[in-house]
């Protein structure tokens, strides 16, 4: 692809990057929470009016959105029904034996996505091996349809027992409901989560069904808007698993875009890890409302097949991203006990932080940075937006400093310290909690605020190196512009590994491979190549903890299966701290990741690496650091930092979309790829 547009809709700003053969065009426009599609239209108009971009010449448009995430977080969902096998009406109410807090006797379980009065039973039964125990009759179907019509729902989720073995009843019921109630969207578990475990499967299907009308409307509004602006390129949407699907597919697979935006940033980091020495890194994506953290090992991010969203299980492949409710717009407050709290509530895009001058009255993390001189109030977004620092000072003094008997500077620094502590805990969740030492990884910050906190967060978890990539402020949009079409397939097996010959593996994968190739050929752009990745999910017999092992995509032989067993024992020990080399292994399922490699947009050219040269700052500014207090520090323009350039903290590095804070006793250099490498100096080195 020669011209690719990536647009990432965030909580505060919407980022755009147009990658083409002669370089990149970058823009940032305010998000429009009341109508997210409008921000895309606004961005396209800026590209046309300010840069003279002819949208009709674009080859591809990929975008990520928080529409599904926000709808779930805010519980703004349409009336949704769930149809289950008779006897399973309380599947969402009962849930599982897992407790969110083991010793909390007052813990409250999340409310089910579907209220109990909208859960309807149907007389039918599929056995565990796929045989029909109780046939689905027309009378049973008619009874469900009448109940749904009387309930007046907008969406229906169908999750029948063992439909992943035999989906005939789900398909028949869905077809009848669509015919009788054409204005109601219908989602079946055989399409959404054809996997074992009734509760996670029902929860995922219900979430997808509840989101479908909202996402379908958004996709329709977005598609009409971009067409009206003259964009004729195919439109793709980022999935949580790090690949894109067509806009039409997104409308009926809403659950696959819940982590759409954050996944794009991880994808961009994974691309960089593949082509640089930094193959082991922890990504740190801090935007206006939240911070998303993910661990990349050997240039590949972990892919989870089950996660929890707001306490509800979600069965969908997605990057193992941990989200913290701390961003530039996170609100600081003093609680009833006199403790300073930061987040998870956010000022969002409107009204935004106090210093934005849009009517915000509650101090935020961004206001703290503005007060401490970390942000140039006259040069925010390249001077397009002026910040009101005096208003931010008044808000912090009134709501934080005075109640706590602190100076305004100490209060602002306290806001940043608390946000840093929360984000450091998030780094430990994706590293220490999974058996990794964060000291073995580099921290890669991006998003509008990531590079302002990376060094202080890194110090808390003892990460010694921070790698700030090019275009850090719009890095998720960069990931969108370098994405591939992707589909995920899975087949439940549930057999002892030692009873399965290699021929049985091939018999499962051959139809999956054909299905993947057919779908990719139908949905990916011309010229894309196909790449298949096979994985097996295994566990010890009669145990529940599963481990995922990658399989070779060439012929599966007995030697490959022997190695699969060995790899499983080793991986189980790493993940859970124990294994049983003599234990029998069960093959739970086989999965397939199918990529349509689209030929990524060429990165901007960077000059050859020169000898280390100390670059002079463009200006100086008074900035407050905890270690030094107020001090005049050098302010650098990132465009002046070429490969080989070096700097020493304290310093501030500015670019249009982001600011990089270099704390005291930190040295920085620019590598051959234009990345800024920041490292803490040894004790005494700064002297």
Query: What distance in Å separates the CA atoms of residue 195 and residue 585, rounded to the nearest whole number?
Result: 19
Give the residue from 365, 354, 370, 304 showing the smallest Cα distance to 331: 365
Neighbours of 42 (CB within 10 A): 18
**Dihedrals φ, ψ of 483, to 5°?**
-90, 165
Q: Where are the beta strands (DSSP E) in 218-260?
A: 235-238, 244-246
Neighbours of 664 (CB within 10 A): 18
Query: What distance in Å separates the CA atoms of residue 458 and residue 439, rounded to the nearest whole number?
Result: 9
Burial, 258: exposed, middle or buried (Cβ in 10 Å; 0-12, 13-18, 19+)?
A: buried
Q: Which long-range contacts (CB under 8 A, 24 or more apart) does 605-612 make?
A: 606/643, 606/672, 606/673, 606/674, 607/642, 607/643, 608/643, 608/672, 609/643, 609/644, 609/671, 609/672, 610/642, 610/643, 610/644, 611/644, 612/644, 612/645, 612/646, 612/669
CA distances from 359 to 86, 362, 395, 401, 402 (A): 53, 10, 12, 21, 22
Are the CB atoms for 14 and 477 separated by under 8 Å?
A: no
Neighbours of 504 (CB within 10 A): 14
Q: For position 609, what pLDDT does the model report?
A: 52
Q: Could you confirm whether domain 4-72+216-256 is CATH 3.10.105.10?
A: no
77-211 matches 4-72+216-256 in CATH topology: no
Q: Could you confirm whether domain 485-597 is CATH 3.30.1490?
A: yes
Are the CB atoms for 12 and 328 separated by under 8 Å?
A: yes
Q: For position 22, what pLDDT does the model report?
A: 73
* Strand 321-324 relative to strand 291-297, pairing: antiparallel
Instruction: Kindly give the parts of the chain with pLDDT less than 70.
Output: 1, 349, 600-612, 682-687
| DSSP classification of residue 406 | -
For the chain, the structural domain boundaries read: 4-72+216-256, 77-211, 485-597, 613-680
For Cα atoms 94, 96, 102, give the angle at the middle one, nearest 5 degrees.
110
Mention the CATH class of domain 77-211: alpha beta
| DSSP classification of residue 316 | S
Tens digits of per-residue pLDDT, 456-491? 999 999 998 999 999 999 999 999 988 899 999 999
Listed in sequence order, the residues at least 6 apart from 552 whose beta carbon sits closer than 8 Å to its beta carbon are 534, 560
Q: Where are the beta strands (DSSP E) in 10-79?
A: 13-20, 23-30, 60-64
Q: Partners of 630 in the beta sheet?
A: 624
Q: For position 684, what pLDDT does the model report?
A: 47
Query: What distance in Å separates the CA atoms of residue 650 and residue 667, rounded to the nearest whole number?
Result: 9
Alpha helices (H) along 96-181: 138-151, 168-180
Query: What distance in Å separates the CA atoms of residue 659 and residue 676, rounded to the nearest whole number?
Result: 12
Neighbours of 592 (CB within 10 A): 21
List the strands of the sheet with 80-85, edge to edge: 119-122, 80-85, 155-159, 185-188
Query: What distance in Å separates the CA atoms of residue 204 and residue 200, rounded to the nearest whole number?
Result: 6
Q: For position 622, what pLDDT does the model report?
A: 95
């Amino acid at each position: 692809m020669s011209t690719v547009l990536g647009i990432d809709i965030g909580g505060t700003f919407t980022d755009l990057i147009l990658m083409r053969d002669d370089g990149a065009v970058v823009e940032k426009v305010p998000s429009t929470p009341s109508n997210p599609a409008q921000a895309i239209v606004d961005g396209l108009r800026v590209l046309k009016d300010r840069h003279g971009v002819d949208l009709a010449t674009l080859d591809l448009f990929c975008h990520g959105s928080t529409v599904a995430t926000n709808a779930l977080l805010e519980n703004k969902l349409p009336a949704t029904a769930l149809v289950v096998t008779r006897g399973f009406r309380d599947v969402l109410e009962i849930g599982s034996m897992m407790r969110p807090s083991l010793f909390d006797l007052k813990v409250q379980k999340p409310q089910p996505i579907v209220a109990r009065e909208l859960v309807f039973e149907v007389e039918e039964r599929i056995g565990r091996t796929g045989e029909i125990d109780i046939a689905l009759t027309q009378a049973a179907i008619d009874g469900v349809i009448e109940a749904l019509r009387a309930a007046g729902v907008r969406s229906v989720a169908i999750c029948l027992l063992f439909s992943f073995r035999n989906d005939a009843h789900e398909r028949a019921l869905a077809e009848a409901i669509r015919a009788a109630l054409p204005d109601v969207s219908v989602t079946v578990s055989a399409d959404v989560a054809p996997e074992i475990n009734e509760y996670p499967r029902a929860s995922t299907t219900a979430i997808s069904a509840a989101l479908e009308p909202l996402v379908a409307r958004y996709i329709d509004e977005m598609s009409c808007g971009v067409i009206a602006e003259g964009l004729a390129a195919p439109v793709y949407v980022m999935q949580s698993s790090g690949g894109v699907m067509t806009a039409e597919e997104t409308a009926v697979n809403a659950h696959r875009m819940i982590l759409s935006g954050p996944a794009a940033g991880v994808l961009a980091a994974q691309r960089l890890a593949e082509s640089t020495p930094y193959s082991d890194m922890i990504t740190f994506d801090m935007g206006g409302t939240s911070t998303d953290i993910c661990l990349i090992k050997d240039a590949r991010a972990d892919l989870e097949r089950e996660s929890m969203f707001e306490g509800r299980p979600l069965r969908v492949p997605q990057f193992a991203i941990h989200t913290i409710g701390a961003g530039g717009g996170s609100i600081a407050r003093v609680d009833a006990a006199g403790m300073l709290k930061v987040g998870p509530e956010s000022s969002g895009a409107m009204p935004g932080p106090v210093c934005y001058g849009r009517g915000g009255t509650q101090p935020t993390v961004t206001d703290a940075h503005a007060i401490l001189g970390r942000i140039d109030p006259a040069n925010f977004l390249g001077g397009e937006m002026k910040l009101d620092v005096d208003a931010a000072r008044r808000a912090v003094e009134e709501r934080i400093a005075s109640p706590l008997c602190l100076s305004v500077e100490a209060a602002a620094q306290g806001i940043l310290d608390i946000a840093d502590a929360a984000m450091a805990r998030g780094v430990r969740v994706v590293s220490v909690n999974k058996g990794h030492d964060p000291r073995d990884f580099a921290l890669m910050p991006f998003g509008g605020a990531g590079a302002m906190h990376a060094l202080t967060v890194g110090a808390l978890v003892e990460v010694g190196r921070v790698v700030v990539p090019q275009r850090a402020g719009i890095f998720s949009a960069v990931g969108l512009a370098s994405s591939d079409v992707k589909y995920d397939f899975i087949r439940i097996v549930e057999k002892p590994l030692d009873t399965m010959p290699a021929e049985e593996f091939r018999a499962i994968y051959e139809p999956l491979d054909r299905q993947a190739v057919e779908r990719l050929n139908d949905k990916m752009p011309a010229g894309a190549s196909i790449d298949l990745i096979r994985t097996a999910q295994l566990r010890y017999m009669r145990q529940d903890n599963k481990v995922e092992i990658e399989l070779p995509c060439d012929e599966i032989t007995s030697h490959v299966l022997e190695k699969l067993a060995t790899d499983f024992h080793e991986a189980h020990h790493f993940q859970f701290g124990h294994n049983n080399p003599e234990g029998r292994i069960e093959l739970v399922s086989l999965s397939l990741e199918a990529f349509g490699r689209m030929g990524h947009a060429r990165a901007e050219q960077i000059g050859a690496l020169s000898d280390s040269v100390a670059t002079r700052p463009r200006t100086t500014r008074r900035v407050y650091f905890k270690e030094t207090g107020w001090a005049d520090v050098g302010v650098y323009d990132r465009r002046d930092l070429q490969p080989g350039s070096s700097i020493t903290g304290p310093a501030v590095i500015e670019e249009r979309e982001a600011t990089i804070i270099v704390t005291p006793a930190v040295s920085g250099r620019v590598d051959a790829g234009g990345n800024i490498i920041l490292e803490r100096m040894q004790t005494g080195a700064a002297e």
